[in-house]
Amino acid sequence: MRVGLGHDTHRLAEGRPLILGGITIPHERGLIGHSDADVVLHAVTDALLGAAGLGDIGDAYPDTDPAWHNADSAFFLRETLRRLNQAGWRPVNLDVIIFAQEPKLGPLKGTIRANLARLLNLAVDVINVKAKTGEKVGHIGRAEAIACQAVVLLDRA
Ligand code: MG
Angle made by CA atoms 58, 17, 21, in degrees to the nearest 5: 55
| Selection from 62, 87, 61 nearest residue 74 by Cα | 61
pLDDT reported for residue 48? 98
Query: What pLDDT, in 10s, does the model give residues 105-120?
Result: 999 999 999 999 999 9
| % of the chain with per-residue pLDDT over 70 | 100
Is there a contact between 150 and 39 (Cβ–Cβ < 8 Å)? no
Distances (CA, A) of 68 to 37, 75, 89: 11, 10, 26
Query: What pLDDT, in 10s, does the model give residues 42-62?
Result: 999 999 999 999 999 999 999
Is there a contact between 40 and 20 (Cβ–Cβ < 8 Å)? yes
For residue 80, name the pLDDT band (cuts at 50, 70, 90). Answer: very high
Q: How far is the centre of ligand 1, averaged over its atoms, from the C-alpha of 99 (Å)?
A: 14
pLDDT reported for residue 112? 98
pLDDT reported for residue 145? 98
Ramachandran angles phi, psi of 30, nearest 5°: -135, -175
Q: How far is the centre of ligand 1, averaged over its atoms, from the C-alpha of 136 (Å)?
A: 23
Q: How far is the centre of ligand 1, averaged over its atoms, from the C-alpha of 49 (Å)?
A: 14
| % of the chain with per-residue pLDDT over 90 | 98
